[in-house]
C-alpha cells in the first residue's frame, strides 16, 4: 500500500482497503497495476450513473469552462443551481418545492434539523434506533450507538429514539416533538424496509401533534430503489426531504427540500438561518442536473427492479440466508459475520468490489451503478458463488 497514503492522509479506518486508483469508467475502477475491478459498490451508492458517465463529464467540463465559484450560497442567480432546483420541484410531489443545496449529506441533515426546530419552535427530536444520518455533531447525536458517540459527548440534547417499524413507539411522538427523522429504508442497519404502512402511520402521528417528518433519502434517492425517491413506494410524502450521495453521480453534495412556507423560516429571525460558502456550487449543480436528466430520460430507474430480480435469482447459496433491500440497494445477509467479512476480502482478490454495512455485521453490500449491465451482474455473481463454494 502506498506509504504516503498511510503517513500523510489522515486515516480513521484501521484497515483501509488501499487500492491505488488509476482511473474509473462505467462499472470498473482500474488500479495502477492495470487491473480492472468490477464495482458492485459505486462509491457507497454515490456513483449513480457509474464512473465518468459521458453526459455528466460533458456537463462538468462545460461549466468549468464558464465559471466555477463566484459567490457564497444564494446571493447570485446561477443557472445550474436554479435549473436544477426547478427540475427537482417538477419531479417532487407537493408541497416539496424549495431546495437548499449544501456540500454533503450530513450538512443537509444539520440543515433539516435546524429547519424543523426553527419552524416548530420546539427542540425535541426523535430518531430511529440503528439509524445512520452522518457524522457531524448533530447527525452523530441522532445515532443510538453509545460506543460510537460517548467519547464525543456532550452532543445535542433532547434527542430520543424509537424502534423502526414498531407502531407502539409512535406514542413517544408528542406535542413536544419538533421532528421525527427516519431513513426511508434503513441503510447501516441492514437495508430494512418500512412495513405495514409504517411511514404513513408516522406521518399521521406527526400531523396529529404538529411535528414534522424528515425522511433521509441520502442513500435510496435518485432511482436506486426503482423510483426516483424511495418514499414513492410507501405513499408517504415527508415535510422535509434530505438527499445527497448519488445526486451528482460522484461529486460531493447534499440538499434538503421543503414547502415554501417551511423553508421561508430560515430567512428571518435570524436571517441567514443556514449559510454555507460552496452550497449550490455551479459545477456540482451542473453534474446534479446532468444526472437527473439522464435518470428522467432513460429506463435506468425502471430497470433497477429487473436488475434486483436478476441478482436475487442468481445469488442462491446456503451461506446466503436472506437478501434484503430494494432495487440496487441490496444486502446479502450471510450465515455468520465471518463469512461476510471473508467474502468482501476474498472478492477484492478476484477484482470484485463488495463492502460491509455499518451496523449489521452479517451483511455484504451490493449497490452497483444503476448503469451496470446484466452481463456484468452475472459475472460478479459468478465470482461471489465460486468464492462461497470454496469457503
By CB under 6 A, what part of segment 119-148 binds ligand PLP? 132-134
Q: Counting contacts by CB under 6 A, is residue 244 touching ligand PLP?
A: yes
- Of 357, 355, 344, 327, give the one whose Cα is nearest residue 383: 344
Beta bridge partners of 161: 127
Question: By Cβ distance, which residue is nearest to ligand PLP?
Answer: 105
Question: Binding segment for ligand PLP among 101-109, 143-151, 190-198, 273-281 (CB under 6 A)?
Answer: 101-109
| Contact by Cβ (8 Å): 280, 78 | yes
By CB under 6 A, what part of segment 296-355 binds ligand PLP? none
How many residues sit close enough to ligand PLP to count as binding (CB under 6 A)?
Answer: 15
Q: Counting contacts by CB under 6 A, is residue 106 touching ligand PLP?
A: yes
Q: Counting contacts by CB under 6 A, is residue 356 touching ligand PLP?
A: no
Residue identified by cell 427530536 is 125
- Select 279 or 384, whichever has its Cβ closest to ligand PLP: 279
The number of residues in the chain equals 391
- Select 104 or 346, whichever has its Cβ closest to ligand PLP: 104
State the DSSP H helix or E strand holding residue 23, giving kind and residue range, or none if neither.
strand 21-25
- Select 143 or 388, whichever has its Cβ closest to ligand PLP: 143
CB of 189 to ligand PLP, least distance (A): 10
- Select 78 or 219, whichever has its Cβ closest to ligand PLP: 219
- Listing DSSP states for 188-257 in one string gives TTTSBPP-TTHHHHHHHHHHHHTPEEEEE-TTTTTTTTSSSSGGGGTT---SEEEEEGGGGTSS--EEEE
- Select 135 or 298, whichever has its Cβ closest to ligand PLP: 135
CB of 104 to ligand PLP, least distance (A): 4
Alpha-carbon distance of 135 to 132, in angstroms, equals 9
Cβ atoms within 10 Å of 175's Cβ, excluding its own: 11
Among 39, 110, 183, 308, binds ligand PLP (CB under 6 A): 183
Percent helix / strand / coil, the chain, rounded to 5: 40, 20, 40
| Contact by Cβ (8 Å): 384, 346 | no
> Which residues have CB under 8 Å from 289's CB, separation 6+?
59, 80, 83, 84, 87
Cβ atoms within 10 Å of 298's Cβ, excluding its own: 14
CB of 338 to ligand PLP, least distance (A): 25
CB of 44 to ligand PLP, least distance (A): 6
Among 97, 216, 239, 360, binds ligand PLP (CB under 6 A): 216
Q: Counting contacts by CB under 6 A, is residue 224 touching ligand PLP?
A: no
Residues 250-269: x where in contact with ligand PLP by CB under 6 A, - otherwise, as a string: ----x---------------
Q: Counting contacts by CB under 6 A, is residue 105 touching ligand PLP?
A: yes
CB of 288 to ligand PLP, least distance (A): 14
Q: Counting contacts by CB under 6 A, is residue 110 touching ligand PLP?
A: no
Among 104, 120, 130, 304, binds ligand PLP (CB under 6 A): 104
Q: At 192, give phi and psi (nearest 5°).
A: -95, 125
Angle at 177 (CA atoms; ends 111, 161), nearest 5 degrees = 85
Angle at 144 (CA atoms; ends 41, 173), nearest 5 degrees = 110
Cβ atoms within 10 Å of 309's Cβ, excluding its own: 10
Question: Binding segment for ligand PLP among 86-94, 141-149, 167-175, 214-222 (CB under 6 A)?
Answer: 214-222
By CB under 6 A, what part of segment 19-38 binds ligand PLP? none
Q: Counting contacts by CB under 6 A, is residue 359 touching ligand PLP?
A: no
Residues of this chain that interact with ligand PLP (CB under 6 A) are 104-106, 109, 132-134, 183, 187, 216, 218-219, 244-245, 254
Amino acid at each position: 500500500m502506498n506509504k504516503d497514503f498511510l503517513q500523510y492522509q489522515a486515516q480513521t479506518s484501521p484497515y483501509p482497503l488501499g487500492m491505488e486508483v488509476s482511473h474509473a469508467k462505467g462499472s470498473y475502477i482500474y488500479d495502477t497495476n492495470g487491473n480492472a475491478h468490477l464495482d458492485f459498490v459505486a462509491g457507497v451508492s454515490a456513483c449513480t450513473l457509474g464512473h465518468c458517465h459521458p453526459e455528466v463529464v460533458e456537463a462538468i467540463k462545460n461549466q468549468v469552462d464558464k465559471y466555477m465559484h463566484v459567490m457564497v450560497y444564494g446571493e447570485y442567480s446561477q443557472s445550474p443551481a436554479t435549473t436544477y432546483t426547478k427540475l427537482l420541484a417538477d419531479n417532487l410531489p407537493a408541497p416539496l418545492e424549495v431546495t437548499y443545496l449544501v456540500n454533503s449529506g450530513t450538512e443537509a441533515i444539520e440543515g433539516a434539523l435546524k429547519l424543523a426546530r426553527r419552524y416548530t419552535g420546539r427542540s425535541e427530536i426523535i430518531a430511529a434506533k440503528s439509524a445512520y444520518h452522518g457524522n457531524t455533531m448533530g447527525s452523530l447525536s441522532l445515532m443510538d450507538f453509545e460506543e460510537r458517540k460517548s467519547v464525543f459527548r456532550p452532543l445535542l440534547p433532547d434527542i430520543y429514539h424509537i424502534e423502526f417499524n414498531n407502531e407502539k413507539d409512535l406514542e413517544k411522538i408528542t406535542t413536544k416533538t419538533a421532528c421525527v427523522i427516519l431513513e426511508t429504508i434503513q441503510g447501516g442497519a441492514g437495508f430494512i424496509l418500512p412495513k405495514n404502512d409504517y411511514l404513513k402511520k408516522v406521518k399521521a402521528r406527526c400531523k396529529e401533534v404538529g411535528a414534522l417528518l424528515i425522511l433521509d433519502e441520502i442513500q435510496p434517492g435518485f432511482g436506486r430503489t426503482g423510483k426516483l425517491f424511495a418514499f414513492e413506494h410507501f405513499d408517504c410524502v415527508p415535510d422535509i426531504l434530505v438527499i445527497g450521495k448519488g445526486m451528482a453521480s460522484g461529486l460531493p453534495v447534499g440538499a434538503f427540500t421543503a414547502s415554501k412556507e417551511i423553508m421561508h423560516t430560515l430567512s428571518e429571525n435570524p436571517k441567514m438561518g443556514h449559510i454555507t460558502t460552496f452550497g449550490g456550487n455551479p459545477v456540482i449543480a451542473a453534474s446534479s442536473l446532468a444526472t437527473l436528466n439522464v435518470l428522467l430520460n432513460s429506463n435506468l430507474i425502471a430497470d433497477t427492479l429487473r436488475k434486483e430480480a436478476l441478482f436475487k435469482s442468481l445469488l442462491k447459496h446456503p451461506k446466503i440466508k436472506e437478501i434484503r433491500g430494494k432495487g440496487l440497494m441490496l444486502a446479502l445477509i450471510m450465515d455468520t459475520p465471518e463469512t461476510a467479512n471473508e467474502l468482501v476480502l476474498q472478492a477484492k482478490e478476484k477484482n470484485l468490489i463488495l463492502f460491509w454495512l455499518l451496523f449489521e455485521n452479517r451483511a455484504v453490500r451490493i449497490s452497483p451503478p444503476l448503469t451496470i449491465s446484466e452481463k456484468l451482474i452475472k459475472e460478479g455473481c459468478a465470482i461471489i458463488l465460486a468464492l462461497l463454494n470454496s469457503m
